[in-house]
């Protein structure tokens, strides 16, 4: 009777939860009271039997309230349940559970079993207990209570199940619980289905969510309302399936449901995630037309969308719009803003925003700090990271797992393993478990550094402490062992994996196979391939490519082809890597026709042939000395729209040189350079060596200088290779020229090189040059007797006994023996001109201090001479500059043997005015200007008039004339036929109309310091424009209104630019190129062409790169004047 009374009261007091449309399926406000609670059901939910026993623990008696007290509390609950005061029952149980904490279910269930079996309302208290545990997110306790209820045949209410489902909806187990509820016969509430669909959406199981929705609709179990549609819209929008989400919005209208702010907000978020910002803005307009004012949350969604696209200018516009509408940016707004700047590398701006937030009274959360930590870590700013951590500690803000993982990952990328491990220890002390991502970062970083022993130690520690260790972490350490060639240790770890119950993946086996292949144990590698199949896994393309490449490298082409046939037989589709390996094997055996057949087969099967495939074929034919076929394959590459790599041309140049066609090799090299192809040093060295072998030292010297001018770093090995070949063919004078270049480059000759020279002089019986050699090399080799004894020994056993005796005498101090004279050191016999010989040696030993270098640069007679850049049609550009810009053609020359022409244009004579040097390379009609070059500046007294003239001539105006933003100076921008920009500035009469060259730099202060000290320029003015996020500095050798200046521009957060291949360099006059080069070296500049005369015209120059890689050429003033004459 009492039980029926309780049931009737429950029915009368039944209340259901409500969803808020603006929350995520709206934080279900679960029921204050229960549905009807049926008892004596024999249903059994399978999930309840799967509770891990170790997750349910009893409480120590010292940590509990006395048993009598808890029994009294439960008695009160039963009494209240009996009279229907279920809200009070829940409140009391909530207090009890909060006090007892997680893991208390065993003891409370024991009390109920032992003391309340005969109470009429016992089933209500059991159900309420499970419900309160579920709503308190103590999931394992709730499951334990349900398992006890199941053993007592007490059926839980649907509200308890709904509460439990809601809190585990993001886990896979929610499907089992849902199936169990339906199988139990309990009537599902309308929220049961909704929660389940929401869970599927949050797990990205969208197909199942859609099927479930349609199935429930067909069975009419689901009431179509705004909430269920919002669930689906949110799920599909978050996954990027925006079009599907839009279809649900249309379906809402069809079924009479009105989309609310949450509907629009979810769809807006989806559009922003996929970058469809135009549609997002249109949706906002629709919302406003529907009477929904855009709130801070909506603006934050839009701001984040533009942040994801890197469009920070739009972010600022939206924030400005917010403020105008009376909306104050909140913590989320500022965090998005900081994130955007940090992602673009402008961490300093992010730090400034953080400071502004604190000044405005914001309390930063762990997410904001995590964003800053990530940005600072990426830039290697460890000190700032430490400051942020101290700041968090000072305000009592604890880091979460994401912040810890971010910090650990950042430290690992910087190689700061010790700091990463300190963070791990800190987490352990705070009982925060690091996730697999964090440990993976540490193990990966250690293995990359070769510290596999340390990585293994961490892995073992994790395993021994019973922490969750997945196969990914094992695979990382395995790969570390294999990389070091320690296959035995890798196998031992593999065995430990098996013992520990870790199931190897295909990656595990592929790693071990790679280890066996690297150590030449190919039979063991094949056995492991069989192990893959025995364990139910399928070998992948990686498996076969690893094995085939190893057999190919070992020369066992037959086994390689057998593996190829095997994978094809197993329907494993070979990729381009597999085919390239087969080609390589066939080429090694000179089965070149077979390799060609493989290429044809790839074309027939539609497999995209890449550059590596063609390079493999070209290499095969080059090694077979079949240059005609090699070039034919190269031509086919071009027909397939594939761009040959420097390696391709290394093969072709090498085969030409090997066949004695050195002239054609150099012609090919120059043709490639004219086309802007970037070659490697190998190509130059190959031809240089070939010239040496063929007895053409002058050609070798010229090409070597070209290689240095291109900016390649030349090592002692490069010099030695040339000198050895020259000395072997008795070109000792030319070899000495290369030695001189070595000394000027600051490279010391080694004993082998000195011995080579001595052998050559012995052959020519030239003891005088031997002493000159000692004069040149003694500052580098030294005067200690051990060094000379070593040289003596090498010479003696080479048969150069006379020279060895002479060398043994040279241990006398150099100043006493030669008195600084070495006049014959670098004079070339025959028709060649005298080099800078003795002077260069003196220059090499001269050292400027930084102070004297600055003084020299400031007193040197310097001015900007001209700027050099490349154009696609010389006559067309000359016409534009003369007719539209008012320049004059000063001189023009054509060099057909070098296949280029150039022209000098300006507003006055070159001996007193700045000019432009236009270069046209035969056959090249287009260049890449890049993003680093900015513009040239032209001063005119009437910008409007000049723009009208340019328009009349068909010129392109990219910025109409008008005052500059924030100022009064009238400017305009135009483009020449090649796309170079010219800024027209309205300025009164000036002696230098061609007034500016603008280049972009990554560190303005560093560049200013370099140009002041190394180039002797003055900082004429500097202006920061924070509103437009850039700063400029004007550098030059005189007042800005009377001289051409260099305008350096820094855009906030941009450190590097693409320089393209169009802009070349600026030429600057100097009285001494040698001292200029030395001064530039002192201040960190890179000399790309050592000082000396240009072949043919004898104008002395030196070339260098600034910190950003912009090239400048210093020209001797007197030589330049002679050149103009």
CB-based contacts of 390-398 (< 8 A; 24+ apart in sequence): 392/366, 395/363, 395/364, 397/364, 397/365, 397/366, 397/369, 398/366, 398/430
Helices and strands per DSSP (H, E), number in the chain: 52, 16
How far apart (Å, rounded) are the C-alpha atoms in residues 364 and 233?
31
H-assigned helices in 819-916: 837-845, 850-859, 874-883
Q: Are strands 933-940 and 981-986 parallel, antiparallel or unpaired?
A: parallel
Q: How far does CA 119 lie from the centroid of its chain?
A: 68
The continuous run of DSSP H or E covering 906 comes out as strand 900-906
Q: Hey, how many other C-beta atoms are within 10 angstroms of the C-beta on 67?
A: 14
- Annotated ligand binding at 730? The verdict is no
The answer to whether 513 touches 543, Cβ cutoff 8 Å, is yes
Task: Give the single-character DSSP code of 39.
Answer: B
| Residue 917 labeled ligand binder | yes
d(CA 1085, CA 1097): 26
Q: Give the DSSP letter of residue 335.
A: H
For residue 187, give both structure tokens. 């009537």
Burial class (CB in 10 A: 0-12, 13-18, 19+), 523: exposed
Residue 202: closest CA among 229, 158, 170, 236: 170
Of 100, 343, 416, 983, which residue is the catalytic one? 983
With H, G, I as helix, E, B as strand and everything else as coil, classify residue 135.
helix
Give me 618's structure tokens.
Answer: 């070209």
Residue 983 annotated in ligand binding:
yes
850: how many CB neighbours lie within 10 A of its CB?
11
Q: What is the rounded (10 degree) CA torsion for 451, 453, 458, 463?
A: 140
Catalytic, 983? Answer: yes
414/1010 Cα distance (integer angstroms) = 28
User: Residue 204 has which token pair?
Assistant: 């990205």
Residues 16 and 189: beta-carbon distance below 8 Å: yes
SS3 category, 61: helix
Chain centroid to Cα 578, Å, comes to: 28
Specify the DSSP element, H or E, that contains 986: strand 981-986
Beta strands 1111-1116; 1063-1070: pairing state:
parallel
**Can you tell me whether residue 203 is helix, strand or coil?**
coil
Segment (H or E) for 958: strand 956-963
Q: Which residue has the tokens 């850039």?
A: 1030
Q: How many residues does the chain have?
A: 1125
Cα dist. 856→80, 843, 1036 in Å?
98, 15, 16
Contact call for residues 34 and 90 (beta carbons, < 8 A): no
Quote the CA–CA distance of 413 and 490 in Å, as a whole number: 24
Q: Which two tokens stand for residue 866?
A: 């001209």
- Backbone dihedral region of 14: left (phi > 0), alpha (psi from -120 to 50 degrees) or beta? beta
Q: Which residues are annotated as a binding site for Zn(2+)?
A: 917, 935, 983
Catalytic residues: 983
Q: Which residues are annotated as a binding site?
A: 917, 935, 983
């Amino acid at each position: 009777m009492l039980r029926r009374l309780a049931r009737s009261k429950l029915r009368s007091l039944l209340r259901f939860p409500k969803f808020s449309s603006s929350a995520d399926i709206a934080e279900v406000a679960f029921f204050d009271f229960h549905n009807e609670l049926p008892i004596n059901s024999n249903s059994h939910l399978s999930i309840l039997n799967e509770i891990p026993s170790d997750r349910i623990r009893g409480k120590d008696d010292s940590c509990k309230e006395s048993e009598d007290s808890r029994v009294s509390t439960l008695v009160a609950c039963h009494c209240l349940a009996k009279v229907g005061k279920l809200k009070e029952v829940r409140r009391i149980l909530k207090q009890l559970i909060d006090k007892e904490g997680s893991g208390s279910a065993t003891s409370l269930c024991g009390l109920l079993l032992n003391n309340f079996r005969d109470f009429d309302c016992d089933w209500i208290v059991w159900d309420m207990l499970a419900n309160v545990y579920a709503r308190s997110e103590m999931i394992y306790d709730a499951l334990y209570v349900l398992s006890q209820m199941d053993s007592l045949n007490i059926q839980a209410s649907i509200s308890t199940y709904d509460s439990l489902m809601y809190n585990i909806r993001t886990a896979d187990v929610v499907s089992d619980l849902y199936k169990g509820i339906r199988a139990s016969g309990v009537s599902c509430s309308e929220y049961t289905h909704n929660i389940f669909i929401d869970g599927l959406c949050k797990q990205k199981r969208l197909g199942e969510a859609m099927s479930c929705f349609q199935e429930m609709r067909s069975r009419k179990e689901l009431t179509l309302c705004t909430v269920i549609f919002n669930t689906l819209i949110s799920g599909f929008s978050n996954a990027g399936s925006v079009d599907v989400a839009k279809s649900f919005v249309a379906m809402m209208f069809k079924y009479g449901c009105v989309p609310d702010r949450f509907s629009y907000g979810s769809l807006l978020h989806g559009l922003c995630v996929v970058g469809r910002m135009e549609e997002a803005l249109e949706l906002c307009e629709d919302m406003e037309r529907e009477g929904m004012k855009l709130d801070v949350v909506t603006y934050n969604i839009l701001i984040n969308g533009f942040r994801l696209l890197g469009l920070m200018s739009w972010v600022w516009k939206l924030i400005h719009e917010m403020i105008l509408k009376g909306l104050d940016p909140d913590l989320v707004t500022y965090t998005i803003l900081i994130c955007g700047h940090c992602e673009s590398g402008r961490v300093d701006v992010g730090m400034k925003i953080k400071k502004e937030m604190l000044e405005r009274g914001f309390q930063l959360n762990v997410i904001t700090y995590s964003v800053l930590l990530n940005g600072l870590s990426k830039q290697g700013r460890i000190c700032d990271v430490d400051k942020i951590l101290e700041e968090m500690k000072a305000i009592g803000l604890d880091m979460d797992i994401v912040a810890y993982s971010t910090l650990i990952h950042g430290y690992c990328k910087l190689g700061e393993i010790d700091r990463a491990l300190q963070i791990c220890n800190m987490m352990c002390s705070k009982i925060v478990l690091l996730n697999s991502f964090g440990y993976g970062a540490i193990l990966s970083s250690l293995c990359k550094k070769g510290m596999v022993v340390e990585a293994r130690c961490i892995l073992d520690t994790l395993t021994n402490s019973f922490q969750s260790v997945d196969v990914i972490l094992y695979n990382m350490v395995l790969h570390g062992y294999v990389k070091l060639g320690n296959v035995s240790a890798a196998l031992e770890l593999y065995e430990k994996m098996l013992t520990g119950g870790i199931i190897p993946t295909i990656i595990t086996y592929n790693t071990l196979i790679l280890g066996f292949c690297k150590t030449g144990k190919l039979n063991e590698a094949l056995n492991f391939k069989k192990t893959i199949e025995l364990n139910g896994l399928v070998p992948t393309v990686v498996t076969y490519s690893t094995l085939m490449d190893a057999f190919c490298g070992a020369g066992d082409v037959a086994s390689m082809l057998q593996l190829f046939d095997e994978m094809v037989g197993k329907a494993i589709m070979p990729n381009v890597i597999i085919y390239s390996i087969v080609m390589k094997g066939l080429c090694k055996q000179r089965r070149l026709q077979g390799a060609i057949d493989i290429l044809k087969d790839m074309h027939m099967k539609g497999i995209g042939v890449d550059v590596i495939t063609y390079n493999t074929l070209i290499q095969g034919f080059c090694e077979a000395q079949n240059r005609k076929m090699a070039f034919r394959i190269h031509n086919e590459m071009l027909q397939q729209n594939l761009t040959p790599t420097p390696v391709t041309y290394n093969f072709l140049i090498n085969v030409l040189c090997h066949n004695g066609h050195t002239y054609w090799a150099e012609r090919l090299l120059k043709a490639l350079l004219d086309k802007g192809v970037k070659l490697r040093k190998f190509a130059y060295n190959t031809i240089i060596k070939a010239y040496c072998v063929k007895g053409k030292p002058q050609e070798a010297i010229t090409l070597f200088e070209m290689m240095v001018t291109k900016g390649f770093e030349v090592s002692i090995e490069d010099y030695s290779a040339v000198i050895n070949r020259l000395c072997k063919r008795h070109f000792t004078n030319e070899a000495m020229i290369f030695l001189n270049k070595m000394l000027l480059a600051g490279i010391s000759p080694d004993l082998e090189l000195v011995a080579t020279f001595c052998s050559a002089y012995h052959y020519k019986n030239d003891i005088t040059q031997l002493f000159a050699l000692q004069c040149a090399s003694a500052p580098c080799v030294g005067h200690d007797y051990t060094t000379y004894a070593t040289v003596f020994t090498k010479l003696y056993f080479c048969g150069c006994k006379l020279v060895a005796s002479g060398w043994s005498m040279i241990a006398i101090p150099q100043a006493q023996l030669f008195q600084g004279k070495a006049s014959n050191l670098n004079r070339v016999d025959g028709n060649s001109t005298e080099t800078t010989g003795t002077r260069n040696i003196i220059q090499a030993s001269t050292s400027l201090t930084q102070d004297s270098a600055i003084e020299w640069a400031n007193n040197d007679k310097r001015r900007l001479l001209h700027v050099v850049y490349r154009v696609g049609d010389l006559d067309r550009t000359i016409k534009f500059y003369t007719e539209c810009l008012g320049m004059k053609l000063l001189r023009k020359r054509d060099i057909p043997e070098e296949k280029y022409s150039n022209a000098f244009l300006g507003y006055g004579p070159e001996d007193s005015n700045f000019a432009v040097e236009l270069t046209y390379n035969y056959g090249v009609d287009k260049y890449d200007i890049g993003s680093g070059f900015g513009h040239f500046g032209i001063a005119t007294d009437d910008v409007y008039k000049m723009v009208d003239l340019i328009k009349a001539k068909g010129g392109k105006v990219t910025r109409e004339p008008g005052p500059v933003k924030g100022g009064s100076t009238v400017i305009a921008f135009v483009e020449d036929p090649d796309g170079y920009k010219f800024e027209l500035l309205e300025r009164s009469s000036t002696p230098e109309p061609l007034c500016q060259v603008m280049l972009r730099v990554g560190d303005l202060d560093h560049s200013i310091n370099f140009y002041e000290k190394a180039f002797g320029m003055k900082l004429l003015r500097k202006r920061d424009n924070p509103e437009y996020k850039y700063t400029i500095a004007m550098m030059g050798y005189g007042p800005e209104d009377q001289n051409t200046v260099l305008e350096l521009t820094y855009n906030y957060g941009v450190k590097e630019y693409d320089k393209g291949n169009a802009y070349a360099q600026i030429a600057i006059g100097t009285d001494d190129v040698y001292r200029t080069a030395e001064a530039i070296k002192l201040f960190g500049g890179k000399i790309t062409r050592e000082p000396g005369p240009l072949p043919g015209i004898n104008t002395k120059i030196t070339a260098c790169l600034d910190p950003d890689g912009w090239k400048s050429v210093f020209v001797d003033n007197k030589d330049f004047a002679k050149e103009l004459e």
